[in-house]
Structure 1
Amino acid sequence: MKSLKALLAGIALAALTVPALVAGAANAADYKAEYKLSTVLGKPFPWGVGGDRWAELVKEKTGGRINIKMYPGTSLVNGDQTKEFTALRQGTIDMAVGSTINWSPQVKELNLFSLPFLMPDHKALDALTQGEVGKTLFDLLATKDVVPLAWGENGFREISNSKHPIRTPADLKGMKIRVVGSPLYLDTFTALGANPTQMSWADAQPALSTGAVDGQENPLAIFVAAKLATLGQKNLTLWGYVADPLIFVVNKEVWASWSKEDQEAVRAAAVQAAAEEVAISRKGITAEDDSLLKEITAQGVEVVRLTPEEQKAFQTATQPVFDKWTKQIGPDLVKAAQSAIAARK
């Protein structure tokens, strides 16, 4: 009798389980064999490390149901960084760890982080990305065919050149500076008397090597990983004029194709990978740990640290640019950002 009851119970359990397994198989069948993740930089840059880590964590947290391959160098859009967000919206790219700078031509509000001298330090940046301003920007992105999941960080952008130390706006006069493809950057460097030249990162390195351009602006982690000191960049000025947050996102249709369980796994993986990536991007450049700066100095680079008065001169020179772009970004958003920064701990 017991064995009969056990048999019947087993049949009942199988009846309940089989449909579930079939449904699971159907869901798995809808998944792509590989999802394409776009980044501008690969390893060993923090940006690439973050993207690689996200892919690793997603595979782990979904039990291998979602497999991601990272495509650095924005190779999915032939290296054109400014086309990445459009390709993401169209589904050519499934996922991305993207720069607010590169996506700003399509999402003007993301220019907020490129307003010259808006954010004085990492706490100010965190006040924006981890507060109401960050939520507002994520809500906006969510209306543009993507699902934003977490904030990463490329870092504060410092300026280097092959000519001479930069301490005043006059030191930039006529200097050819490589900038990303953003009109705001053109306006900023034009206001400082420089000759800004737009080019992709892939083109920037040989241009620096040959002297086709004199200088560039990038976070210190990129300065070291790209070995810019070997490309004639022997003068580095720490001015922290803008920061470049990264955003971990998924194409909206791709996101909708996943089960709720896998969506939460991908989100958790993004949050974890982003936190790890931010920590890497800040390593060695803080008051508590300046090991990266020491490494740069050891490479024969003259590092200039601006005094508050010297930095004020650059801020004054770029104030008209700040005012012009505040109107385009949205005065209310800029005001909210300024309030959040002022209230930071």
Structure 2
Amino acid sequence: MKSMKALFAGLALAAMVLPGVVANGAAAADYKAEYKLSTVLGKPFPWGIGGDRWAELVKEKTNGRINVKMYPGSALVNGDQTKEFTALRQGVIDMAVGSTINWSPQVKELNLFSLPFLMPDHKAMDALTQGPVGKQLFDLLATKDVVPLAWGENGFREVSNSKRAIRTPEDLKGLKIRVVGSPLYLDTFTALGANPTQMSWADAQPALSTGAVDGQENPVGVFVAGKLPTLGQKHLTLWGYVADPLIFVVNKEVWNSWSKEDQEAVRAAAVQAAAEEVAIARKGITAQDDSLLKDIAAQGVEVVQLTPEQQKAFQKATQAVYDKWAKTIGPDLVKAAETSVANRK
């Protein structure tokens, strides 16, 4: 009789335990074998290094429960980087380290960072991304089917070309400059007298090589990793007219499918990878360490650093563009950004 009671007790215990076991098993089964991470640039660009590092840290911090594969070159949207955010919202892409520029056609407020000469230095960029403006933009993105986790950095976009040194707005006149797919960039370079041409980065490199376009604008890290001196880019001007912060994000449905523990692990991985990526993006281009700029000059490139007075001429030439786009972005947001920049430490 005792053995029968023990048997029934054991069965009752199993009935209580099994549902939980099955539920946990089902939860684990809901995880994908692989999560797709989209980036525009792969290694050895700082952007690609950051994406790769995030994938590595996610696997490490989730003990292998979440496996991420990076797809550089906007491969998940056939190379069209401006469609990345839409694909992310739709679930075609699970995760991304995306550019504020490339996502600005869908989220107009992200054009903030492309207002010409809003941010004079890295401290200004940090004041925006790490302050109330950055939080406001993350809150906005959170309403658009994604979960933003951390700010990374592609960097200040500097202009290069194959024809001549650029020191004044007049030097840009007539130059055919490749720009990213944002109408704000068309307006800015048109105001400076250049001939802006929109094309993907994949198309830009052969266009520079053949001389179909004269120049381009990109962070110094891209200039180096893309070997642009070998593509005829012998004149580089550091003017810091706009910057391109990156955003580490996860599709909201994917995020909600993970346990709280794994969500926090992915968030921690994003914060760590982003901090490491920003450090890489800034290495060798500061007043304290200009080793990368010296390396560029050693490749036969004329590197021009604009003085504050020279920069003012470009700022004046693009003021109408700034004012026009401030209305589109939102006057309150722009005012908050200007205040944060003015009060930076």
TM-score over 0.5 for the alignment?
yes
Question: 1:9-59: per-residue Cα shift (whole Å, max 9, x none)?
Answer: x99998876554433211110011111100000001000000000000001
Query: Which sections of structure 1, spanning at least 5 residues, go unmatched?
Result: 1-9
What is aligned with 1:299? 299
The alpha-carbon distance between structure 1 residues 24 and 210, as it changes in their structure 2 partners (threshold 3 A), is same
Aligned-partner Cα distance in 2 for 1:96–1:43? 15
What is aligned with 2:331? 331
Partner secondary structure for residue 105 of structure 1: coil
What is aligned with 1:47? 47
Question: How far did 1:202 drift?
Answer: 0.1
Aligned-partner Cα distance in 2 for 1:49–1:28? 29
The alpha-carbon distance between structure 1 residues 219 and 12, as it changes in their structure 2 partners (threshold 3 A), is farther
Amino acid at match of 2:104: S
Alignment of 1:57-206 (within 5 A): 57-206=57-206
Percent of pairs with identical residues: 86
Aligned-partner Cα distance in 1 for 2:188–2:241? 10
Partner secondary structure for residue 153 of structure 1: strand
The alpha-carbon distance between structure 1 residues 299 and 22, as it changes in their structure 2 partners (threshold 3 A), is same
Partner secondary structure for residue 318 of structure 2: helix
| Structure 1 stretches of at least 4 aligned residues deviating more than 3 Å after TM superposition | 10-21
What is aligned with 1:37? 37
Query: Which sections of structure 2, spanning at least 5 residues, go unmatched?
Result: 1-9
What is aligned with 1:261? 261
Aligned-partner Cα distance in 2 for 1:118–1:341? 8
Partner secondary structure for residue 40 of structure 1: coil
Aligned-partner Cα distance in 2 for 1:319–1:13? 74
The alpha-carbon distance between structure 1 residues 227 and 339, as it changes in their structure 2 partners (threshold 3 A), is same
Question: 1:115-154: per-residue Cα shift (whole Å, max 9, x none)?
Answer: 0000000000000000000000000000001000000000
Question: 1:185-225: per-residue Cα shift (whole Å, max 9, x none)?
Answer: 00000000000000000000000000000000000001000
The alpha-carbon distance between structure 1 residues 36 and 29, as it changes in their structure 2 partners (threshold 3 A), is same
Q: What is the root-mean-square deviation of aligned Cα atoms in Å?
A: 1.7
What is aligned with 2:4? none
Aligned-partner Cα distance in 1 for 2:120–2:232? 28
Instruction: State whether structure 2 residue 311 is matched by structure 1 residue 273.
Output: no
Number of aligned residue pairs: give it: 339
